[in-house]
Chain A
Amino acid sequence: MNIVVDFDKCDSNAICMGVAPKYFEVKDDNFLYVLDEHPPEDVRSLIEDAVRQCPTGAISIEDD
């Protein structure tokens, strides 16, 4: 699984980070960073939660 963020849409409100802090972090420059773009399959539902909760629809999961 591959986490893809559309940075033109991202609003840096860090909701994804609240859901999955190991994978998303809004750093001190106020930009979102994906800490691990290829998370293991067993955290899929967590990442799906982040996808769903992102208010701008900026996150998607691509299967590799």
Chain B
Amino acid sequence: MPAVTAAPDLDARRAGLDRIAIVGASLAGLSAAEALREAGFEGAVTLVGAEAHLPYDRPPLSKQVLAGDRDGQSTALRIPERYDELKLDLLLGRAAARLDATAGTLELQSGESVGYDGLIIATGASPRTLPATPELDGIHTLRTLEDCLALRREFEAGPRVAVVGAGFIGAEVAAVARGRGLDVTVLEAAPVPLERAIGAAMGRVCAALHTAHGVDLRLGVAVEDFDGSARIERVRLGDGSSIEADVVVVGVGVDPNTAWLEGSGLVLDNGIVCDATCATNVPGIFAAGDVASWHNRQYGEQMRVEHWTNAVEQGRAAARNLLAGPLAAEPFSSVPYFWSNQYDTRIQFVGHARPDDEVRVAHGAVDDDRFVALYGRAGRLVAALGFNWARLVMGYRAKIAEGIGWDEALDGAASLE
């Protein structure tokens, strides 16, 4: 992590940076706010959030909270006193409706307006829905605490559950539902789940995890529509068959929350388009977290990452770079990391895979539910996936960052165990 060298607050004041606004009061926004204070920024920091809650954590929503092992309150990211300590002006329960980047003002849905000298946008992402989803009870998506508690209540009645989409959220929901003894069908359009994220070979390994735990996994099926009178009764598939279900969870990915920025002058293309330092095309405006598409020098690619650790690291980097100013801003280079807990398996993934990467199981064995697979491309190690082997996967994060070669990684694997 680059150290802050100059006294940033002095620099910031010289640059006329007295008021910083952050839109999106969740992980990336909060991380940015903390980094501003840590760097010594003493001006006003306003944190605007659409949700009424103080910032809370999402990963438990498809894990412990959904399973009933933790309550909703336990997901708070910070204790309330922390916000006083940070001297934040919290405007919660108020969505930003419009950005006037020329005047430097945000208009909120409540009618208030917030002026700023510097702005960090961290509005995250929202679940996609399927076209023409009818207004039936029992059809859910999962992003917020309310979504989670509503789904948890449904699970208590012992429903038959259909999960649409075998991505990580869908997979975790299926795992929790099975853990509660519910009948679960997972419907996935692709022939192999997660192929884009982790490649076909490992996608099949993840698929096997579900079938081994009694999930009725249907691959390559198209969801045609949902049927029921007041509540969902069945999901109709493209081949004419249907699945009986009392609860449907749609987990078909998320879209970045950029609708409110249309016409603002910010370049939008699968998120807010940023350069390597998380700066947008408008000076003084940065983006971070699930909403930001930035140039990741680590891979020489524009990418948008929807993981927890990225929201923290990128939120902090955006804040530092806003204070540093364009000349001193440092690129945010990152090896993405995420984890997912499914059944008794802890899945961890570092890096950035492509479907045509070479994949080798370098540690353990897939059948033992404990292994690490390495991904190689153009002579480099680019990613690693582990089941129940955190120690090794985390070690590979550092190696990928260093740019270790593919052969070197394979040759050295045995000595790491």
Contacts and interface: CB of A to CB of B under 8 A. Distances in A.
Nearest to B397: A18
A30 interface: yes
B298 interface: no
B308 A25 contact: no
Given A52-B34, A53-B312, A28 B57 contact: no
A55 B61 CA distance: 12
A14 B396 CA distance: 12
Contacts of B60: 56
Contacts of A26: 390-391, 394
A14 B57 CA distance: 17
A21 B1 contact: no
A13 B398 contact: no
Contacts, number: 49
Contacts of B346: 12-13, 30
A2 B388 CA distance: 28
B59 A21 contact: no
Q: Which DSSP category, helix, strand, loop or mixed, fits chain B's interface?
A: helix
A45 to B, nearest CB: 9
A11 B338 CA distance: 13
Q: Which DSSP category, helix, strand, loop or mixed, fits chain A's interface?
A: loop
B27 to A, nearest CB: 9
B332 interface: no
Nearest to A15: B309
Interface in B343-357: 346, 348
Contacts of B77: 57
Given A49-B1, A52-B34, A55-B57, A17 B390 contact: yes
B57 A13 contact: no
B272 interface: no
A14 B34 contact: no
Interface in A17-37: 17-18, 21, 25-28, 30
Nearest to A27: B391
B391 A28 contact: yes
Contacts of A11: 341
B393 interface: yes
A13 B312 contact: no
A26 B388 CA distance: 10
9 contacts: A11-B341, A14-B348, A14-B390, A18-B394, A26-B390, A27-B391, A30-B346, A30-B390, A53-B312
Interface of A: 11-15, 17-18, 21, 25-28, 30, 49, 52-53, 55-57
- Across the A-B interface, give the 5 residue pairs with the lowest CB-CB distance, nearest first: A14-B390, A26-B390, A13-B339, A17-B394, A18-B394
